[in-house]
A and B are shown apart, each in its own frame.
Chain A
Amino acid sequence: MHKLDRNELNGGRSLPEYYGSNRLTLLPRDPYWLFAYWEVTPALVQSLGELNGGLSRSRRVLRVRDRDRGVFRDIEVGNHTTGSWHIPVETAGNSYAAELGELLPDGRFVTLLVSNTVRTPRDSISPVIDPRWRLFAFWQHRHFHQMVTGLSSYELFMETERLGNEGVYRD
């Protein structure tokens, strides 16, 4: 075997299954999807379980919080040490965070891990217009559709109407 062969350099090892860390990470994938992955050590589960009178009848839940609206949704996930989930969300350009925890039969939620906060990308033209650059707004109404893939003239017209009704273009 060549001394630089991959098996030689990798020392026969493969990817670690666990890192012994307690972490929940959230990644924004697109305006309507997030991805979460986590690792939670048995020691952490045990110590939090003891504090809360045992977790034998609880369910492992990923609680996804809409930070801008203050609402959340629970997704039941298996109680393995590591896990991951692709999460559909409702709003583009919105902030989300998640917690991994145990939902007890009495409705209490025991948080194991807290994620970072992410913001989904926008999927449309911003309704916000900088007044210093208003002069050109008329031009955009007519020609944005050429540049925005998938937005027909009609849809663009409707979008403009809607924004007009909201007073964004008020003179």
Chain B
Amino acid sequence: MTKGYLALVLHAHLPFVKHPEHAFSLEEKWFFEAMTETYLPLLAVLERLQDDGIDFRLTLSVSPTLAAMWQDGYLREKYRAYLEKLLDLADREVARTAGDPAFSDLAQMYRHRLRETYSRFFHLYRGDMAGPLRRLAATGKLELITCAGTHGYLPLLFTQPEAVYAQVALAVEQHARLFGQSPKGIWLPECAYEHGLDSILADLGINYFFLDSHGVLFATPRPAFGVYSPLVTPAGVAAFGRDPESSKQVWSKTEGYPGDFDYRDFYRDIGFDLPYDYIGPYIHPDGIQIHTGFKYYRITGKTNHKEPYHPGNARRRLAEHAGNFMFNREHQIEYLAEQTGRPPIVVAPYDAELFGHWWYEGPDWLEDLFRKIHYDQDVFRPATPSEYLSLPQPLQEAEPNPSSWGNKGYHEVWLNGANDWLYRHLHEAAIRMARAAGDFPAASGLQKEALDQLARELLLAQSSDWPFILASGTMAGYARQRAEDHIVRFMRLHQQIYNNSIDAVWLAGLREKDSIFPDLDYRLYAPRDRTVKVAVPLGSSV
């Protein structure tokens, strides 16, 4: 008998990165690696589960910036070239390791997987990620949800509510266009919540969102079922809280599954291990050593000593880990159901890129887990948040606590000495954007193109990725440049719009470079009229 539910949630996101001005870009490689190691393997897993009749449920948030990169023709062709180069390296690796029992099979495995990836994306999907996701979503087993437009950190943009509204409205619109229906739920960037955000979500037809555990636990009034039942916010949106226990089993560096010694080591890579004469053409053109994806060792232990990776051993281990995760959920859900007298929901959200990119075996673990849940137990069922919300049971009303899932649980990661300088510019730009939308309510031609691009520059500047990277230190230079670039371009364009001196050639360059959301309309920022006007045309009889 089903005593409760498990909602597995993956959040897929990368910032919008596109560098036509460089033949090679380290930052574009984030996207290419995630395609190869995470998104395409996850799609393969879901399609296999579907083909085998497994009754799985997965909630996947696709950030609008990631979706925009999926739709970008330039990036698609650059990804093709990237994969072709890796396939070339794979051939060389197979030849190099021939006769070496420890590595030969691994080189062949990588080549096989790369060929499979290439063929899946370019032949089976014809370069379109939205199609297979739409088909899976139509089965009801995959629930696609959205995220804020450019992953803006909404609580820190909320001084200009119209900027927050635009972030969410744009996301809902893009999602509906790409996936054929409006998103029922949203992954708030970094799970970051502030009082009042729920009204904007409600206005845009969003039914639910997620919070870190304390966003729900510290709600007012106190939540009767802890994080094991969603709350209904004052605006009528459901807030699901993260289950700390299941999160920790997968996330934790020390206790989590991905750190198992049999799993593949992320850091040892031929990009660092092999001599320049050989690996030169496959690393950074300036000779900087980088990851190639060819990794032949297992984690082995806590020292630098590494032993060869054995996929068979890793496979056995991931089956154990999937079994362990299921076993723990069975006990947890049985216990919670008994204590509360109603079916609990355990919400287990993860960054999608953890699966495959960081934790190589992650997608296979997920596949194993869904198969086991389907065949080996009947205590709980996997569910989407929408399914849980449709159960005939009342939900408690409460005001969630402002919070995030970042370090220390609030906004400090995105607002500290390393990135606080950013907000004066973001807020100023948001004020100017709203004003411009009011000042030019019906622009057309070049002026409209300029205003649309003005909105794109604002949105790109607002990505939470820039303050996050600034605070984390690595690649901080890139994040600073990106934030600066978009603010500087915004201000320059703003000046040209108001001076009626738009530089058409320069604007064309901006539109080519910062090309996110081609269908965006700047009137998204126009003042919203909350009152309903009933206009009666003159001369008509009522």
A51-84 contact mask (Cβ, 8 Å, vs B): 1 or 0: 0000000000000000000000000000000101
* Complex CA distance for A119 and B409, rounded to whole angstroms: 16
* Complex CA distance for A116 and B159, rounded to whole angstroms: 8
Contact A25 B218 (CB under 8 A): no
Instruction: Point out the residues of chain B lying under 8 angstroms from A128, CB to CB.
Output: 220-222
Q: Given A121-B410, A140-B222, list of 10 further CB < 8 A pairs?
A: A9-B485, A9-B510, A10-B484, A25-B424, A30-B409, A37-B423, A121-B218, A143-B226, A143-B339, A148-B214
The residue on A at minimum CB distance from B411 is A29
Interface residues of B toward A: which range? Answer: 35 or more
The residue that A2 contacts in the complex, of B21, B155, B489, with Cβ under 8 A, is B21
Q: Does B181 touch A at the CB level, under 8 Å? A: no
* Complex CA distance for A30 and B244, rounded to whole angstroms: 20
Instruction: Point out the residues of chain A lying under 8 angstroms from B195, CB to CB.
Output: 119
Contact B513 A27 (CB under 8 A): no
Instruction: Point out the residues of chain A lying under 8 angstroms from B21, CB to CB.
Output: 2-6
Question: A128-B222, A139-B339 are contacts. A8–B217 as well, Cβ < 8 Å?
Answer: no
Min CB distance B218 to A, Å, is: 4
* Complex CA distance for A140 and B218, rounded to whole angstroms: 12
The number of chain A residues with a CB under 8 A from chain B is 54
Q: Does B83 touch A at the CB level, under 8 Å? A: no
Q: Does B401 touch A at the CB level, under 8 Å? A: yes
Instruction: Point out the residues of chain A lying under 8 angstroms from B22, CB to CB.
Output: 2
The residue on B at minimum CB distance from A133 is B224
Contact B488 A3 (CB under 8 A): no
Contact B224 A140 (CB under 8 A): yes
Task: Kindly name the residue among B226, B425, B512 whose own CB sees the greatest number of chain A CB atoms within 10 A.
Answer: B226
Instruction: Point out the residues of chain B lying under 8 angstroms from A35, CB to CB.
Output: 415, 420, 423
The residues in A between 102 and 150 inclusive whose CB is less than 8 angstroms from any CB of B are 116, 119, 121-130, 132-137, 139-140, 143-144, 146-149
The residue on B at minimum CB distance from A3 is B509
The residues in B between 481 and 520 inclusive whose CB is less than 8 angstroms from any CB of A are 481, 484-485, 487-489, 491-492, 506, 509-510, 512-513
A and B contact pairs by CB, cutoff 8 A, 14 listed = A4-B21, A4-B513, A10-B492, A11-B506, A15-B488, A16-B425, A16-B491, A25-B424, A29-B416, A30-B409, A37-B420, A123-B218, A130-B221, A133-B224
Contact B217 A121 (CB under 8 A): no
Q: Does A170 touch B at the CB level, under 8 Å? A: no
Min CB distance A103 to B, Å, is: 24
Contact B221 A129 (CB under 8 A): yes
Instruction: Point out the residues of chain A lying under 8 angstroms from B510, CB to CB.
Output: 9
The residue that B488 contacts in the complex, of A13, A133, A144, with Cβ under 8 A, is A13
Contact A28 B226 (CB under 8 A): no
* Complex CA distance for A130 and B244, rounded to whole angstroms: 24
Q: Does B408 touch A at the CB level, under 8 Å? A: yes
Q: Does A31 touch B at the CB level, under 8 Å? A: yes
Min CB distance A94 to B, Å, is: 12
